[in-house]
């Protein structure tokens, strides 16, 4: 291992404690104001606006969303009775449950729960800490000569007010990654070069061992940090509820204008991924702090053994933290733009890795399914994804093809009836995300073709990769870092 740059120093101060900043003698604000995500601020008197926006506890929101989603599922079953009867006469009860439950009832319940939760969600007010603690940014880089300079430049342009250490771990790159990074001669930049490509987990763990500070942030080498991303993700960490040990940032597609595939992914990140993380954080725990841009407590990283050596290292790491009773938050205003796959082969490998990582997490931490918590249903929904994807590919897609020739056994008029619901759901998500974008001085560009492709064909494009990932992990096929 070759290192370019300074020598790590010891910093044992826990930035989440209340105390004094020795350099400024200013008091750090109390880390968490409440045990819930939304600050339950005491009101001495209520204005009309207060009465209109009275606080609803997270548990009550969960109950309301659950009851609404269950009601939706029961209504769906009632409406589907003729369909269930006709299909049962041909396929039998087991296959009927597999088909209708997998393509309609269970996914409909999940979508309804997310939608009702989103309608109830009110993000906490942004609290400003008295000072910003020192942070270490880890960048694992493998053949990133083309993007590493812009990534590092975007980090320095953040103007983070606390001490900033940047460690680039060159994971055996064959191109000019080292030279490109070193050419910037940035203050606080250290470059560690590994002789061989060892994988992302090993690279990040090497950086962790050499980090100087107690707050660790990971950034992918092709990710561009938007203004105040560092400040916002650290502020969320300092102000979130107790036992918060990680924060996931908000990821957007950087190269969305390239082709139809990247336009689809723009909406996938902007709508689907962002909405899920937002709702998971509402119920006390985002399931994945993704490696592209997330914050971690160094102490807890060491407690769980750092990043595991697997294809889904960020997923397995996140579940290890959640299993131990910790919480992962989500900073929707800490925005970065990452390069998404531009060719289907690359996208296939990425989503295959994500799906395989989910199975790895289930195998590594099965205990997580038996610890009562508000967000436990998301773990069970993750466990149902293989069913959803298999039912979609093996039953729904052939059913749609059959419907084109007049055979409506699987897909028919009821399928068309779901189109207005999809439009309503996407409209609500769009309005929520647009409000967040405007607060960050960002404008949503017109991308109608990408939206239509996302709404009606995303699962057709992504499900084969997910199924390949499930099968790869079940058969224990060879593992590699792959793309992103």
Alpha-carbon gap, residue 290 to 267, rounded angstroms: 18
- Over residues 118-139, the pLDDT tens digits come to 999 887 777 788 889 999 999 9
- Residue 237 pLDDT > 90: yes
Instruction: pLDDT band for 116, please (50, 70, 90 cuts).
Output: very high
Residues 62 and 205 in one domain: no
Give the pLDDT of residue 45: 38
**pLDDT band at residue 28 under the 50/70/90 scheme:** very low
Tens-digit pLDDT profile for residues 318-342: 999 999 999 999 999 999 999 999 9
pTM (2 decimals)? 0.86
Is the residue at 273 inside a domain? Answer: yes
- Asked if residue 344 and residue 249 are part of one domain, the reply reads yes
Considering only residues 3 and 234, tell me which one the structure prediction assigns the higher pLDDT: 234
Looking at per-residue pLDDT, the higher value among 459 and 19 belongs to: 459
Same domain, 242 and 358: yes
Q: How far apart are CA 116 and CA 69, in angstroms?
A: 7
Model confidence at 478, in pLDDT bands (50, 70, 90)? confident
326 and 253, same structural domain?
yes
- Whether 324 and 248 share a structural domain: yes
List phi, psi (to 5°) of 250: -95, 125
pLDDT at 483 over 90: no
Query: What percent of the chain is predicted at pLDDT more than 70?
Result: 86
Starting at the edge strand found earlier in the chain, the sheet holding 293-297 runs: 2-4, 189-194, 164-171, 135-141, 215-219, 293-297, 244-253, 327-338, 223-225
Q: What is the CA radius of gyration of the chain?
A: 23
pLDDT category, 11, cuts 50, 70, 90? Answer: very low
Dihedrals φ, ψ of 480, to 5°? -150, 160
pLDDT band at residue 32 under the 50/70/90 scheme: very low
For the chain, the average pLDDT equals: 86
Question: For residue 158, what are its two tokens?
Answer: 């953040």
Question: Do residues 161 and 75 share a domain?
Answer: no
Q: State pLDDT tens for residues 41-79.
A: 232 334 444 444 567 899 999 999 999 999 999 998 998
Asked if residue 22 is part of any domain, the answer here is no
Same domain for 4 and 147?
A: yes
Residue 5 corresponds to which tokens in the numbers above? 């740059």
Among residues 65, 95, 120, which one ends one of the domains?
120
Q: How many domains is the chain partitioned into structurally?
A: 2
At 417 the pLDDT is 62
What does the block give as tokens for 189?
């930049």
Residue 96 domain boundaries? 56-120
User: Of all residues in the chain, what percent carry a pLDDT higher than 90?
Assistant: 66
pLDDT of 388 > 50? The answer is yes
CATH of the domain at 316: 3.90.550.10
| 203 plus 72 within the same structural domain | no
Is the pLDDT assigned to residue 481 strictly greater than 70?
no
In this structure, are 364 and 220 located in the same domain?
A: yes
HSE-up of residue 107 (Cα within 13 Å, Cβ side): 20
How much is the average pLDDT of 430-457? 89
Higher pLDDT, 429 or 142: 142
């Amino acid at each position: 291992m070759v290192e370019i740059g300074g020598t790590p120093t010891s910093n044992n101060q826990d930035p989440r404690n209340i105390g004094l900043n020795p350099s400024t003698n200013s008091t750090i604000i109390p880390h968490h104001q409440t045990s819930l995500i939304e600050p339950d601020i005491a009101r001495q008197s209520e204005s009309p606006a207060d009465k209109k926006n009275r606080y609803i506890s997270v548990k009550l929101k969960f109950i309301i969303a659950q009851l609404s989603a269950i009601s939706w599922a029961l209504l769906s079953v009632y409406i589907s009775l003729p369909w269930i009867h006709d299909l049962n006469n041909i396929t039998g009860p087991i296959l009927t449950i597999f088909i209708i439950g997998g393509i309609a009832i269970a996914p409909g319940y999940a979508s309804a729960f997310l939608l009702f939760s989103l309608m109830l969600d009110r993000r906490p007010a942004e609290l400003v800490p008295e000072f910003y603690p020192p942070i270490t940014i880890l960048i694992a880089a493998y053949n990133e000569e083309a993007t590493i300079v812009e990534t590092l430049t975007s980090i320095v342009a953040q103007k983070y007010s606390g001490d900033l250490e940047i460690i680039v771990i060159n994971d055996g790159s064959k191109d000019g990654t080292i030279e490109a990074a070193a050419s910037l001669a940035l203050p606080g930049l250290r470059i560690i070069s590994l002789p061989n490509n060892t994988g992302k987990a090993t690279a990040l763990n090497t950086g962790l061992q050499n980090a100087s500070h107690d707050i660790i942030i990971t950034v992918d080498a092709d990710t561009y940090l938007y203004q105040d991303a560092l400040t916002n993700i650290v502020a969320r960490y300092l102000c979130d509820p107790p036992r918060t040990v990680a924060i996931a940032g908000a990821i957007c597609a950087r190269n969305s204008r390239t082709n139809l595939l990247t336009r689809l992914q723009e909406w996938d990140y902007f709508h689907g991924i962002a909405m899920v993380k937002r709702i998971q954080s509402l119920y006390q725990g985002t399931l994945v702090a993704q490696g592209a841009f997330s914050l971690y407590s160094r102490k807890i990283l060491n407690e769980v053994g750092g990043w595991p050596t697997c294809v889904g290292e960020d997923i397995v790491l996140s579940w290890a933290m959640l299993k131990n009773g910790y919480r992962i938050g989500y900073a929707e205003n800490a925005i970065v733009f990452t390069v998404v796959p531009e060719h289907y082969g690359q996208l296939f490998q990425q989503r295959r890795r994500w799906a395989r990582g989910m199975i790895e997490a289930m195998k590594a931490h099965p205990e997580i399914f038996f610890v009562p918590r508000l967000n436990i249903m998301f773990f069970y929904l993750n466990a149902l994804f293989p069913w959803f994807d298999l039912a979609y590919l093996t039953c729904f897609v052939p059913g749609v093809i059959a419907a084109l020739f007049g055979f409506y056994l699987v897909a028919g008029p009821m399928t068309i009836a779901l189109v207005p619901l999809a439009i309503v759901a996407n409209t609500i998500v769009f309005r929520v995300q647009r409000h967040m974008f405007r607060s960050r001085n960002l404008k949503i560009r017109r991308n109608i073709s990408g939206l239509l492709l996302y709404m009606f064909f995303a699962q057709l494009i992504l499900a084969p990769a997910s199924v390949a990932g499930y099968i790869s992990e079940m058969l224990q096929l060879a593992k590699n870092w792959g793309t992103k």
